Structure formats: structure tokens, C-alpha cells
Amino acid sequence: MDLPIALITGAGTGLGKELALELSKTYHVVLVGRRQKPIIQLAEQINHSGSATELPFDVTDEEQIRSAVKKLKELSLWPVDLVVNNAGVGHFGSVDAMEPKEWQDMFQVNTFAPMLLTRAFVPEMKKRKRGIFLNILSTAALRGKVNESGYAASKFALKGFSESLSLELEPDGIRVIRAYMGGMNTPFWEQSDHVKDPTRFRTPKEVAQIIIEKMKTEDEIVIESKK
């Protein structure tokens, strides 16, 4: 593989899809998602002018992550140069209306999945003395918001992990980029009435373009939701 390799979680829709499209201009992109259809369709789209491979697996499952790493090696898509931890889930409401299962779901996807993926990919990056993790956070990791206590907690946890990891891996030549953005006009809000009018937010394409440009020189990127 002549191109560097970027692996993007939650690549089927929204920001993950737009990041994949932008990154496919300079990387071979590995599209990760639980559902096969969206990432297969995106891979077909990218392969008209770029290079992409779909790799469906559950990013919260350690065994599936190990199998995915094995598959990447079999496909000669190894080592991975850039890991984009984009997959995320949100459940919103007052603290007394939330179910513990919803909190667990958010921590599994928003916090533990990036930790597990980092653990899987960082050893090879350390050997090579280079690599990039791009962790997609939220402005909810910078300040609390009404009816977002559980979501904010999962993102604050990822913020702490990412900042510590950045210091830990800097001597190994590995960057940990933190991208904090407000709400976007994506399908993320379709299962919730937490945001009444997401059309007032930036589009995923706009946000992806800002991230790709800023990550050239910055390790901390803040993008507010309003245009």
C-alpha cells in the first residue's frame, strides 16, 4: 500500500462520512461501522476516485477489535497511520429520567471504545515512532449543558484520557488531536427531541473541512455549533 492508511470509526454517516471523504484525498481509508450497508456504499463512492475498504465491527468489543487488526494485516492494510475515534452516541434528558443502561451505552461507545482502539494500535505506532489519533469530542467535554449530564460525563472522561495520552505519547512521536465541536446538522439528533432545529448548526462537511485543515498544525481544535 503506497498511501498512508487512516481508520475511521462511525464512518457510515454524518461527520465520520465527511471525514472519510476528505481524508480519502490523501489516505487509503478504512471505514468502520456496526452496520455494513452505509460503509459499503461509502467505500464504493470513494473508490471511484480514491481508495477505501469497509471493515464492519463493534468498536466496543475487544474480541472484534483483535479480529479487525488481524484482518487489516491480512489485507496488507497495516500499519495504520491515523486512527479517527469518531463513533459516538448520545442519550439526553434530566438526570432522574435517564436509565443507567443509557449511561453505560454512552461510556461504552464514547469513552471505552477509543481507549480500546488506542490500546490496539499504539504499540505499532511506538515501534515506528509516528502516528496520529484524532479523537472527536464535543463542546460538552469543555462545559456542562442542561440535560446532557451523562453525555458530558462520557466526553469529559475522553478529554482526560486524550490530554493525558498526548503527554504520554509525545516522546514517541505520536500526536493525539482533540476536536471539540458543538452540535451539527446530522442524523445524530433524529432519535431525540433534545435539539428542535439542527438545521441552524454547521453541516458535517463544513466541520470535517475545518478539522482537516486545522489538524495540520493544531492538536486542540474547538468548533462552536453556530455558523
149-163 pLDDT per residue, tens: 999 999 999 999 999
Our answer to whether residue 180 is catalytic in this structure is no
Strands 82-85 and 174-181: unpaired
Strand ranges for 28-181 from DSSP E: 28-33, 52-56, 82-85, 131-136, 174-181
Looking at residue 223, its pLDDT comes to: 92
Looking at residue 103, its pLDDT comes to: 97
**pTM strictly above 0.85:** yes
Amino acid in the structure at residue 207:
V
Amino acid in the structure at residue 101:
K
Within the chain, which residues score under 70 in pLDDT?
1, 185-200, 226-227
Domains parsed from the chain with CATH numbers: 5-223 (3.40.50.720)
Catalytically annotated residue among 27, 112, 151, 201: 151
Amino acid in the structure at residue 62:
E
CB < 8 Å & 24+ apart, contacts of 186-192: 186/13, 186/14, 186/15, 187/13, 187/14, 188/14, 188/88, 188/90, 192/90, 192/91, 192/92
Looking at residue 199, its pLDDT comes to: 63
Looking at residue 200, its pLDDT comes to: 66
Instruction: Name which of 110, 107, 104 is nearest 135 in CA terms.
Output: 110
Cα dihedral 204, 136, 189, 144 in deg (nearest 10):
-130
